[in-house]
């Protein structure tokens, strides 16, 4: 098995991306279906080392990854240390023929299939066998991908972009504490295919490979992790300092987290990136303002003095 690990072809992963810089790169990816962003092994290691107890005696399914993926490589390299039961991968090949590859610590098995889309009927038995899905799904399919896993009631650890928080199907699960943001929140430089073209300043040729730096990268997981013991310092300014939302005057708008009012226990709208700092012992997550549809957790678009703001999450300070 050592021979197999040493002969993995790529150090960069085949588990397509989802995230955001000045979000152009990924918005363009969605429009043009440029979904092949290969995840560096270091980014995978930085996050997954926090879940090792969850992997014991579990079958891991990397459902957007080939045998050459860094996700697959990670689990094969650390198979014994992690004490996992089996690793299975199926390359997301945009509905084209490919293969399912599995490794149980003793033997590699390969099965040819006609459709390796993550929702392919040919993968149904694999989902029944698997305990956790871990991958970097295609950006253009992220919303559908998460909904699919939620419907399966499948545990997952997946890469995404911070703006995915605003999807109603994702945000409702975050409010209900069924989905959580992961541990690492770093910009990632992904390798992209040789035919990938970009005029972005984030695009760079490194070691004869095309790479692009992507900001706003987050991990999303169903595992209830407690990694936010930080308490946001509160400011003593009067609430008269803040504007309110046009359609929801009971909610004040706060553009910067370091200007939070002290002892104010009413609703506040803050940038979605505040979710990184949200400590449930300090704040209650109530809802968001991200779209025109009003639902249990979405309160409409965030307009202030007639100007549309970027998406906001709605929080409330917990009373001591």
* Number of domains observed in the structure of the chain: 2
Kindly report, residue by residue over 75-84, the tens digit of the pLDDT: 999 999 999 9
Asked if the structure places residue 141 within a domain, the reply is: yes
Q: How confident is the model at residue 224 (pLDDT cuts 50, 70, 90)?
A: confident
**What backbone phi and psi angles, to 5 degrees, belong to 4?**
-65, -45
Higher pLDDT, 11 or 180: 180
Number of neighbouring beta carbons within 10 Å of residue 114: 11
40 plus 148 within the same structural domain: yes
Lowest mean pLDDT among 21-35, 162-176, 217-231: 21-35
Share of the chain above pLDDT 70, in %: 86
Two tokens, residue 44: 């995978």
Asked if the structure places residue 229 within a domain, the reply is: no
- What is the pLDDT averaged over residues 144-160? 95
Q: Is the pLDDT of residue 1 over 60?
A: no
Report how far residue 149's alpha carbon sits from residue 136's, in angstroms, rounded to the nearest whole number.
Answer: 13
Q: Between 70-77 and 41-48, two packed helices, what is the crossing angle to 10 degrees?
A: 50
Q: How confident is the model at residue 201 (pLDDT cuts 50, 70, 90)?
A: confident
Higher pLDDT, 77 or 115: 77
Kindly report, residue by residue over 27-51, the tens digit of the pLDDT: 444 443 466 677 989 999 999 999 9
Asked if the structure places residue 251 within a domain, the reply is: yes
Q: How confident is the model at residue 231 (pLDDT cuts 50, 70, 90)?
A: confident
210 plus 295 within the same structural domain: no
Higher pLDDT, 272 or 207: 272
pLDDT score at 9: 30
293 plus 211 within the same structural domain: no
Q: How confident is the model at residue 5 (pLDDT cuts 50, 70, 90)?
A: very low
77 plus 181 within the same structural domain: yes
Asked if the structure places residue 272 within a domain, the reply is: yes
Last residue in a domain, options 191, 221, 251? 221
Q: Is the pLDDT of residue 17 over 80?
A: no
Q: How confident is the model at residue 7 (pLDDT cuts 50, 70, 90)?
A: very low
Last residue in a domain, options 194, 221, 248? 221
251 plus 160 within the same structural domain: no
Q: Is the pLDDT of residue 143 over 80?
A: yes
122 plus 164 within the same structural domain: yes
267 plus 307 within the same structural domain: yes
Lowest mean pLDDT among 13-22, 284-293, 294-303: 13-22
Kindly report, residue by residue over 232-241, the tens digit of the pLDDT: 888 766 777 8
74 plus 188 within the same structural domain: yes
- What is the pLDDT averaged over residues 68-90? 95
pLDDT score at 98: 85
167 plus 111 within the same structural domain: yes
Asked if the structure places residue 21 within a domain, the reply is: yes
pLDDT score at 236: 62
126 plus 12 within the same structural domain: yes
- The boundaries of the domain holding residue 292 are 239-317
- Mind giving me the DSSP string for 165-178? GGSHHHHHHHHTTS
Could you tell me which of 135, 226, 142, 219 has the C-alpha nearest to residue 182?
219
251 plus 209 within the same structural domain: no
212 plus 281 within the same structural domain: no
Is residue 213 within 8 Å of 227, Cβ to Cβ?
A: no
- What is the pLDDT averaged over residues 131-146? 92
Q: Is the pLDDT of residue 19 over 70?
A: no
Q: Which DSSP symbol is given to 34?
A: -
Asked if the structure places residue 107 within a domain, the reply is: yes
Asked if the structure places residue 37 within a domain, the reply is: yes
Sign of CA dihedral 20, 21, 27, 29: negative
Sign of CA dihedral 299, 301, 307, 310: positive
Higher pLDDT, 58 or 201: 58
Report how far residue 289's alpha carbon sits from residue 271's, in angstroms, rounded to the nearest whole number.
Answer: 10
Report how far residue 274's alpha carbon sits from residue 313's, in angstroms, rounded to the nearest whole number.
Answer: 8
Last residue in a domain, options 165, 194, 221? 221
- Alpha helix (H) ranges present in the chain? 2-6, 24-32, 41-48, 70-77, 79-82, 124-129, 142-152, 168-175
CATH of the domain at 25: 3.40.50
- What is the pLDDT averaged over residues 158-168? 91
Asked if the structure places residue 72 within a domain, the reply is: yes
pLDDT score at 173: 94
pTM, full prediction: 0.83
- What is the pLDDT averaged over residues 217-221? 94
- What is the pLDDT averaged over residues 245-259? 91
């Amino acid at each position: 098995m050592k021979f197999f690990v040493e002969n993995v072809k790529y150090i960069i992963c085949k588990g397509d991306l989802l995230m955001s810089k000045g979000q152009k790169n990924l918005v363009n990816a969605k429009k043009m279906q440029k979904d092949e962003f290969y995840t560096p092994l270091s980014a995978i290691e930085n996050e997954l080392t926090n879940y090792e107890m969850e992997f014991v005696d579990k079958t891991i399914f990397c459902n957007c990854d080939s045998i050459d993926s860094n996700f697959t490589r990670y689990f094969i390299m650390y198979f014994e240390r992690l004490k996992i039961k089996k690793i299975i991968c199926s390359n997301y090949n945009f509905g084209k023929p490919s293969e399912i590859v599995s490794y149980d610590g003793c033997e590699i098995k390969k099965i040819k299939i006609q459709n390796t889309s993550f929702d392919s009927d040919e993968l149904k038995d694999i989902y029944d066998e698997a305990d956790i899905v871990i991958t970097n799904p295609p950006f253009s399919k992220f919303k559908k991908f998460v909904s699919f896993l939620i419907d399966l009631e499948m545990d997952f650890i997946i890469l995404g972009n911070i703006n995915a928080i605003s999807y109603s199907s994702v945000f409702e699960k975050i409010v209900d504490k069924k989905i959580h943001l992961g541990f690492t929140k770093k910009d990632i430089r992904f390798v992209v295919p040789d035919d990938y073209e970009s005029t972005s300043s984030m695009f760079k040729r490194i070691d004869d490979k095309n790479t692009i730096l992507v900001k706003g990268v987050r991990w999303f997981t169903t595992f209830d992790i407690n990694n936010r013991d930080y308490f946001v310092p509160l400011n003593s300014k009067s609430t008269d300092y803040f504007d309110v939302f046009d359609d929801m005057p009971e909610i004040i708008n706060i553009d910067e987290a370091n200007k939070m009012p002290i002892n104010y226990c009413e609703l506040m709208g803050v940038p979605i990136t505040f979710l990184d700092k949200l400590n449930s012992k300090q704040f209650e997550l109530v809802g968001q303002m991200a779209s025109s549809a009003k639902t249990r957790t979405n309160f409409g678009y965030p307009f202030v003095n007639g100007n549309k703001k970027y998406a906001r999450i709605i929080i409330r300070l917990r009373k001591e």
